[in-house]
Amino acid sequence: MELKKSLGQHFLVHEEILDKIVAEIRKQEPFETLIEIGPGMGALTQKLIDSKYQDYFLIEMDDRFVVELPKKFPYLQNRIFHTDVLKFDFAQIKSNRIMLVGNYPYNISTQIVFLILENCKKITDSVGMFQKEVAMRIASKHGSKDYGILSVLAQSIYEVDYLFDIPATAFDPPPKVVSGIISMKRRETPLAPYHNLKIVVKAAFNQRRKTLNNSLKGLQFKDTSYLETIKGLRPEQLSVDDFCRLSMDL
């Protein structure tokens, strides 16, 4: 079947890596509902169906796979949402303990992270594949060049772990980049209100080379005592906890 470049289709075909991904998914059990994004020809799907998850759905945009997958896996009849994941309404899923998995298309992978964050009340867990640079940004700690807006926002809601690299040779066709697998497990309580934190983090990192004294001067804080203690630092020097503490004063 000819692949569609517009959908960023690169299919993982390496059996040992597929097994490693399934093992990481199992580590995050229990969860009520498993949703796989972009199953393609069903390499990962086959292993997940074999795991006997009862409440299992797919989100697939390519109409060819929507037709073919139920033929290969009869269980999937009426369990495939034929839509763009970025337009998917998670409210239609009854469960509030959703595990999201998939080989996320590189061209929308950052948007998928924000989709997870915005639906965090329903998505408790995720094991996903990203371009390595994006995966590193999500999981990196302060002091790293990869640390930024995505790192802070994701880690304020989820415990994020970078698990392992996946070489281009594990795919058909091979992409031009290395991929990485990360896990996200929702914290019992977010470290800060998401809206306020997003305002502070974006203001800080949009002027990454400036100190907080300059980058945050346009924001009105109710209490500036904590800002005073760190105003000479650049954003990459602040931990997730530091940013969360700042956002509490906004």
Q: Which residues of the chain have pLDDT under 50?
A: 6
Residue 106 · residue 80 · CB < 8 Å: no
Among 153, 186, 219, residue at a domain's last position: 186
What is the domain count for the chain?
A: 2
Instruction: Note the pLDDT of residue 248.
Output: 94
Same domain, 80 and 155: yes
Structural domain boundaries, residue 223: 194-247
pLDDT in tens, 141-196: 999 999 999 999 999 999 999 999 999 999 887 888 999 999 999 999 999 999 99
What is the CATH number for 67? 3.40.50.150
Report how far residue 104's alpha carbon sits from residue 38's, in angstroms, rounded to the nearest whole number: 7
Are residues 153 and 206 located together in one domain of the fold? Answer: no
162, 181: one domain: yes
Rounded to two decimals, the pTM is 0.91
Please tell me whether residues 15 and 136 are part of one structural domain.
yes
Return the structure tokens found at 90.
């998670």
Q: Are residues 16 and 66 in the same domain?
A: yes
> What pLDDT is attached to residue 172?
80
Q: Of 186, 202, 228, at which residue does a domain stop?
A: 186
* Alpha-carbon torsion angle 207, 210, 214, 220, nearest 10: 50
State whether residue 161 is helix, strand or coil: strand
Place of tokens 């037709």: 67
Task: State residue 3's pLDDT score.
Answer: 58
The domain that contains 230 carries what CATH number?
A: 1.10.8.100
Q: Are residues 139 and 199 in the same domain?
A: no
Could you give the C-alpha distances from 152 to 96, 155, 198, 209, 216, in angstroms and in order? Answer: 24, 5, 9, 17, 16
pLDDT at 49: 86
Last residue of a domain, one of 141, 157, 186: 186
Confidence (pLDDT) at 52? 64
